[in-house]
Amino acid sequence: MSRRAVIQGTGALIFTFSIERLAFPQDGGPAAGAGAPKLPGSLTRNPLLDAWIQVDADGKITAFTGKVELGQGIRTALLQIVAEELEVAFEQVSLVTADTSRTVDEGYTAGSHSVQDSGTALRNAAAQVREILISEGAHRLKVPADQLRAEAGAVIGPNAARITYAELVSPNLLHVEAQPVSRLKDPSLFKIMDRPVRRVDIPPKVTGGQAYVQDMRLPGMLHARVVRAPSYGARLLRLDTGPIEKMTGVVKVIRDGNFLAVVAYREFQAVKAMRAVAREARWEETAALPRQSSLHDQLLALPSQDQVILDLHDSAGQASKTLEATYTRPYLSHGSIGPSCAVAHLSDGIMTIWTHTQGVYPDRQAIAQMLQLPPEKVHCIHVEGSGCYGHNGADDAAADAALIASSMPDRPIRLQWMREQEHGWEPFGPAMIAKVKGSVDAAGRIVDWDYGVWSNTHATRPGPAGSLLAARYMEKSFPAAEPKPLPQPEGGGDRNSIPLYRLPKARVTHHFLPDMPVRVSALRSLGAHMNVFAIESFMDELALAAGSDPVAFRLAHLDDARARDVVNATADEFHWNARSEPTNGYGYGFAFARYKNLAAYCAVALQVRVDQLTGRTRVLRVAAAVDTGQVINPDGVRNQIEGGILQSLSWTLFESVSFDSQRITSIDWSTYPILRFSSVPESLTVRIIDRPGTPFLGCGEAATGPAAAALANAVANATGKRIRDMPLNAARVKAAIGV
Amino acid sequence: MIELKVNGSSHSVSADPDTPLLYVLRDDLQLNAARFGCGLGQCGSCTVLADGAPILSCVTPIMLLEGRQITTLEGLGSRDDPGPLQRAFIEEQAAQCGYCIPGMMMRAQALLQSNPHPTDAEIVAQLEPNLCRCGTHMRILRAVRRAATLLAGPSEPATGIPPTSNAGARIESPDSEADSQNDARRRPAHSDRRERPER
């Protein structure tokens, strides 16, 4: 029986390859022919099995992914998938993550896509590799394949016959194209997937191991710092670098147009030189930022590109009550705890960059363009950094390091941003506005819904060189790329702007604002945080108008069975129906969404106490339920949902980027406060709804929208006042309740 | 040259006396755990102990530290032989990106050294200066509670997330995990309820 026949389960066509093993699987293999069934997950980006899984002659198994560990636990989850389908011990598999010379181009690690895209690819690849090895075993043992099974890294046959994978593998055995259909394991037989396996990256992180790009120390490495302009677009008027070059330990002061950097032998020498440059440099500042007090009115006045993304005209009952509301979100910071960092090394004409970017290939493209090098002369290797939660300073730091290293051949350069640079220059999550008008009939059914969302782009990531700060400020500068809206169904600013509820008459309009007065890009869940905040707040406003319980009102408008299950499970987990009347500042809130209307389902219920004197809101108890399809690591899912809830509570309760007419002024943790331990709930439980055998849905961003709206709904329930502007900080709540 | 005592060893350091300890730990002594977060003493990622008390190494120049016993996370155990606090963080899987975690652990260590049986309020108060962005707070609190238990008694069987299996062995089922999570010595802050709908 042939490999292809084994994989497909049909036919007996011999399927062999004679082409050379590719040295660089990332350059893409043969694409599937037109009309061929679609390959699963990221196998579409490279169908060659050995681009994903390699089995060495000594039995060592290496899996390859174009996705990266961001602290979300993807490394462990992908290892679980491969070990499970390949029938080997978890410890026997190692994983190579995004590296432009070793892994498939899987774009960015973003959008809760890693498990769906890379996990699906690896699962299918592992299953197909297993079947190829069984087929090879059948050939060697001269036994039909259906009498063989794979177990513990070997093919087992009748009479205790056993051949290890190492014995079966030959150089080109796995250099074959994947097939569209794999023989996947039955979930009831799982031993490693769907189990709370401990994460492989945690032991080094809690024992002082080398865990991050910040920890890299290469021989001869020098330390660099950049000196950023005081405000967007500022021009360097003058700088006398002479005295700085004479400072102890300083190797070089780099000036390239409006890009400034210092390089020193020791890190703190670089910091001192950076401070000296910042003191000496004179700039012309031209930025004109919006007035913060009327930010949203100014955004609404910007030219917009309008697109109607939902337009329903079904018959509906007579409106008995009509409500209208406007919700706003400020600019939000990613606020990574570790400022962005990269190590770059120009050697033998190859620029190697170790970076915590979310996308090694797009970053390579942008940096190659900036340095005017062919992409194959730039090698980007992902090394973990501090959590990023979207497009933070990672790509910019990689570009900074590369630009510095390009003028210092053969010296590895470690560049780390300072706190004020990360806070001041990262691309923020965009400020947004949502306006909703909706009606219920006398029976409490929604009869019409008109929703508009105004937002800048949520995607200014690399590819183009102009996405990088260094490229924007260097002498031979690159312009920013034209901002574009991300298309539905995933969307950008309009992500999750279409409710999952049954709405007979509905219109949803995305008002895309191309002009960006403040640098913005992707923040975890993009527009979903704001849109779910607005939609789910408004659902509660309508429920109140209809005299309905918030959970019952949602269920009355939900047809999707899995959505209903998540809502019911959350209500049950929280004991929603046993909650007491809101009194003395205590209140309850509920919210639900399916992320992007196509990923994980998540609902959140929570209880708050609002201090009547100060307006301070304390979240006391949180319960959530999530349906993320087939679960790989339940503790990993739980960790992501817990983290998503707490991060969203921080955004929604406390956070707002501040600025004056020219400069960002929230440049550290005192000017940009976030959630601390004293604001953490007393309990937070997450119930996972198992859907064995269903597709992976991805859960990393599912909780942010529901958590934000549940909070707003609880504050409204506790105080009787609806607050529609984030953040719901003490000052705003105090003003609303009039104490 | 400045003499620094770090994790029980003496080191002669040639860095300038005004250099913050953090840079010396990371660059001269090649210790990874204390991390640069803000350089302003605002986030706690760089926390180490000096004579048992937490200090912010990013703003403490080495000239103030001669003769004092400095302890970093590396001084609490190793990957092969993790100390109780490290075991507790592994067993509770108390990290996402993990960048802030060593600083959290050193503040927790200072608390547990002086107060082996802290209340929840005392743990929260101790950790209040330290920032976590991933939202791992619930697990960090659980890990510190677990560490207090581990430090208090003789070694007890590990609970929490079990270590990975050997080849083919079935990993502890979610149900037994749930049982361990409901261990009466610990608060039931962490529900492991899962459900499988019929349809």
B189 assigned to some structural domain: no
**What confidence tens digit (pLDDT) does each residue in A441-484 have?**
999 999 999 999 999 999 999 999 999 999 999 999 999 999 99
What ipTM does the predicted assembly reach? 0.94
Domain count for chain B:
2
Tell me what pLDDT residue B160 has: 62
Q: Is B189 on the interface with A (CB under 8 A)?
A: yes
CB-based contact A337 B100, cutoff 8 Å: yes
Strands A413-416 and A222-227, sheet pairing: parallel
Tell me what pLDDT residue A681 has: 98
Residue A36 pLDDT grade (very low, low, confident, very high; cuts 50, 70, 90): low
Tell me what pLDDT residue A37 has: 81
Strand segments (E) across A459-612: 505-512, 586-594, 601-610
Residues of A in contact with B162 (CB under 8 A): 196, 198
Tell me the residue length of chain B. 199
B118 assigned to some structural domain: yes
Q: Which of B43, B75, B107 lies at the terminal end of a domain, its last residue? A: B75
What residues 158-187 of chain B have any CB closer than 8 A to a CB of chain A? 161-172, 174, 177, 187
Please tell me the distance from the alpha carbon of residue B108 to that of residue A37, in angstroms, as a whole number: 55
Nearest-CB residue to B197 (from A416, A565, A634): A565
Q: Is A642 on the interface with B (CB under 8 A)?
A: yes
- Tokens read off for A289: 């930022």
When pLDDT is averaged across residues A128-139 and rounded to a whole number, the result is 98
Residue B159 pLDDT grade (very low, low, confident, very high; cuts 50, 70, 90): low
Tell me what pLDDT residue A291 has: 96
Q: Which of B36, B54, B75 lies at the terminal end of a domain, its last residue? A: B75
Please tell me the distance from the alpha carbon of residue A641 to that of residue A685, in angstroms, as a whole number: 10
B62 assigned to some structural domain: yes
| Nearest alpha-carbon partner for A417 in A197, A245, A569, A270 | A270
Tell me what pLDDT residue B153 has: 76
B26 assigned to some structural domain: yes
Please tell me the distance from the alpha carbon of residue B82 to that of residue A211, in angstroms, as a whole number: 16
Q: Is A348 on the interface with B (CB under 8 A)?
A: no
Please tell me the distance from the alpha carbon of residue A413 to that of residue B54, in angstroms, as a whole number: 32
Q: Are residues B96 and B160 in the same domain?
A: yes
DSSP string covering chain B: -EEEEETTEEEEE-S-TTSBHHHIIIIIS---SS--S-SSSSS-TTEEEETTEEEETTS-BGGG-TT-EEE-GGGG--SSS--HHHHHHHHTT--SS-TTHHHHHHHHHHHHHH-SS--HHHHHHHHTT---SS--HHHHHHHHHHHHHHHHSS-----SSPPPPSTTPPP--HHHHHHHHT-TTS-------EE----
Mean pLDDT of chain A: 94
Q: How far is CA A443 from CA A318, A447, A482, in A?
A: 10, 10, 48
Strands A378-382 and A413-416, sheet pairing: unpaired
Straight-line distance from the first to the last Cα atom of chain B, in angstroms, rounded to the nearest whole number: 72
Tell me what pLDDT residue A2 has: 42
Nearest 5°: phi and psi at A334? -65, -40
Q: Are residues B54 and B88 in the same domain?
A: no
**What confidence tens digit (pLDDT) does each residue in A528-570 have?**
999 999 999 999 999 999 999 999 999 999 999 999 999 999 9
CATH of the domain at B49: 3.10.20.30
A647 neighbors A591 (Cβ within 8 angstroms): no
The domains found in chain A, sorted by start residue, are: 3-204 (3.30.365.10), 213-285+334-425 (3.30.365.10), 308-312+428-458+493-737 (3.30.365.10)
Residues of A in contact with B70 (CB under 8 A): none
Strands A378-382 and A350-355, sheet pairing: parallel
Please tell me the distance from the alpha carbon of residue A360 to that of residue A97, in angstroms, as a whole number: 10
Distance of CA B5 to the CA centre of its chain: 21
Residues of B in contact with A215 (CB under 8 A): 26, 32
Residues of B in contact with A149 (CB under 8 A): none
**What confidence tens digit (pLDDT) does each residue in A331-344 have?**
999 999 999 999 99
Look at A655 and A3; give whichever has higher pLDDT.
Answer: A655
DSSP string covering A288-339: -PPPGGGHHHHHHTS--EEEEEEEEE------SEEEEEEEEE--B----SSP
Size of interface A-B (CB pairs under 8 A): 252
**What confidence tens digit (pLDDT) does each residue in A690-701 have?**
999 999 999 999
Tell me what pLDDT residue A427 has: 98
Please tell me the distance from the alpha carbon of residue B60 to that of residue B24, in angstroms, as a whole number: 11
| Nearest alpha-carbon partner for A119 in A562, A524, A636, A689 | A636
Q: Are residues B137 and B57 in the same domain?
A: no
Please tell me the distance from the alpha carbon of residue A466 to that of residue A464, in angstroms, as a whole number: 5
The partner residues of A351 in beta bridges, in order of sequence, read: A346, A378
**What confidence tens digit (pLDDT) does each residue in A506-532 have?**
999 999 999 999 999 999 999 999 999
Question: Tokens 């008390």 correspond to what residue?
Answer: B53
DSSP string covering A422-491: HHHHS-BBPPEEEEEEEEE-TTS-EEEEEEEEEE--S---SSSGGGSHHHHHSSS--PPPPP-PPPTTT-
What residues 515-554 of chain A have any CB closer than 8 A to a CB of chain B? none
Decide: helix, strand or coil at residue A159. helix
Q: Are residues B37 and B95 in the same domain?
A: no
B94 neighbors B140 (Cβ within 8 angstroms): yes
CB-based contact A337 B139, cutoff 8 Å: no
Encode A678-705: b = buried (16+ Cβ within 10 Å), e = exposed.
ebbbebbbbbbbbbeeeebbbbbbbbbb
Q: Are residues B71 and B106 in the same domain?
A: no
B23 assigned to some structural domain: yes
Amino acid B164 reads T
Q: Are residues B39 and B93 in the same domain?
A: no
B161 neighbors B173 (Cβ within 8 angstroms): no
Residue B163 pLDDT grade (very low, low, confident, very high; cuts 50, 70, 90): low
Tell me what pLDDT residue A30 has: 40
Distance to chain A for B67, nearest Cα, Å:
22
Look at B172 and A375; give whichever has higher pLDDT.
Answer: A375
B89 neighbors B95 (Cβ within 8 angstroms): yes
B34 neighbors B48 (Cβ within 8 angstroms): yes
Please tell me the distance from the alpha carbon of residue B52 to that of residue B48, in angstroms, as a whole number: 9
**What confidence tens digit (pLDDT) does each residue in A599-650 have?**
999 999 999 999 999 999 999 999 999 999 999 999 999 999 999 999 999 9
Tell me what pLDDT residue A582 has: 84
Q: Are residues B96 and B50 in the same domain?
A: no
When pLDDT is averaged across residues B109-113 and rounded to a whole number, the result is 98
Residue A20 pLDDT grade (very low, low, confident, very high; cuts 50, 70, 90): very low
Question: Tokens 């190829």 correspond to what residue?
Answer: A132
Residue B197 pLDDT grade (very low, low, confident, very high; cuts 50, 70, 90): low
Residue B158 pLDDT grade (very low, low, confident, very high; cuts 50, 70, 90): low
CATH of the domain at B134: 1.10.150.120
Q: Residue A16: is its pLDDT beyond 80?
A: no
Tell me what pLDDT residue A10 has: 34
Return the residue of B nearest to A635 by Cα.
Answer: B161
Q: Residue B154: is its pLDDT beyond 70?
A: no
A727 neighbors A615 (Cβ within 8 angstroms): no
B46 neighbors B37 (Cβ within 8 angstroms): yes
Please tell me the distance from the alpha carbon of residue A197 to that of residue A451, in angstroms, as a whole number: 43
Tell me what pLDDT residue A739 has: 67
A561 neighbors A463 (Cβ within 8 angstroms): no
Helix H or strand E segment including A709 = helix A704-719
* Number of DSSP helices (H) and strands (E) in chain A, helices first: 19, 24
Please tell me the distance from the alpha carbon of residue A61 to that of residue A81, in angstroms, as a whole number: 13
Nearest 5°: phi and psi at A411? -120, 115
Q: What whole-number percentage of chain A has pLDDT above 70? A: 95
Q: Are residues B53 and B92 in the same domain?
A: no
Tell me the residue length of chain A. 739
A174 neighbors A182 (Cβ within 8 angstroms): no
Q: How many other C-beta atoms are found inside a 10 Å radius of the C-beta of residue A35?
A: 5
What residues 69-98 of chain B have any CB closer than 8 A to a CB of chain A? 72-74, 77-79, 82, 86, 89-90, 93, 95-98
Residue B162 pLDDT grade (very low, low, confident, very high; cuts 50, 70, 90): low
Residues of B in contact with A674 (CB under 8 A): 131, 133
Q: Are residues B93 and B132 in the same domain?
A: yes
CB-based contact B32 A210, cutoff 8 Å: yes
CB-based contact A203 B79, cutoff 8 Å: yes
Mutate one of A191, A207, A267, A655 to test the B interface: name it (highest B CB count within 10 A): A207
**What confidence tens digit (pLDDT) does each residue in A233-274 have?**
999 999 999 999 999 999 999 999 999 999 999 999 999 999
- Tokens read off for A34: 């037109």
| Nearest alpha-carbon partner for A604 in A711, A694, A484 | A711
- Tokens read off for A286: 């031209």
Distance of CA A726 to the CA centre of its chain: 22
Q: Is B131 on the interface with A (CB under 8 A)?
A: yes
B187 neighbors B145 (Cβ within 8 angstroms): yes
When pLDDT is averaged across residues A2-10 and rounded to a whole number, the result is 39
- Tokens read off for A717: 């329930």
Q: Are residues B148 and B67 in the same domain?
A: no
B197 assigned to some structural domain: no
Tell me what pLDDT residue B184 has: 30
Please tell me the distance from the alpha carbon of residue A281 to that of residue A262, in angstroms, as a whole number: 13
CB-based contact A677 B30, cutoff 8 Å: no
Look at A4 and A423; give whichever has higher pLDDT.
Answer: A423
Decide: helix, strand or coil at residue A81. helix
Q: Are residues B124 and B94 in the same domain?
A: yes
**What confidence tens digit (pLDDT) does each residue in B15-59 have?**
999 999 999 999 999 999 999 999 999 999 999 999 999 999 999
Tell me what pLDDT residue B199 has: 42
Nearest-CB residue to A680 (from B33, B137, B161): B137
DSSP string covering B137-153: HHHHHHHHHHHHHHHHS
pTM (2 decimals)?
A: 0.93
Please tell me the distance from the alpha carbon of residue A2 to that of residue A10, in angstroms, as a whole number: 10
Residue A438 pLDDT grade (very low, low, confident, very high; cuts 50, 70, 90): very high
Starting at the earlier edge strand, list the strands of the sheet with A53-55.
A53-55, A61-64, A93-96
- Domain hosting B156: range is 84-164+172-181
- Tokens read off for B141: 């609190």
Q: Which of B75, B94, B120 lies at the terminal end of a domain, its last residue? A: B75
Q: Are residues B55 and B88 in the same domain?
A: no
Q: Residue B187: is its pLDDT beyond 60?
A: no
Please tell me the distance from the alpha carbon of residue A641 to that of residue A146, in angstroms, as a whole number: 42
Q: What whole-number percentage of chain A has pLDDT above 90? A: 94
B143 assigned to some structural domain: yes
Q: Is A645 on the interface with B (CB under 8 A)?
A: yes
**What confidence tens digit (pLDDT) does each residue in A89-110 have?**
999 999 999 999 999 999 999 9
CB-based contact B194 A688, cutoff 8 Å: yes
B6 assigned to some structural domain: yes
Tell me what pLDDT residue A583 has: 85
**What confidence tens digit (pLDDT) does each residue in A361-412 have?**
999 999 999 999 999 999 999 999 999 999 999 999 999 999 999 999 999 9
CB-based contact B135 A647, cutoff 8 Å: yes
The partner residues of A483 in beta bridges, in order of sequence, read: none
Question: Tokens 């506005």 correspond to what residue?
Answer: A433
Distance to chain B for A601, nearest Cα, Å:
14
Supply the DSSP symbol for A213: G
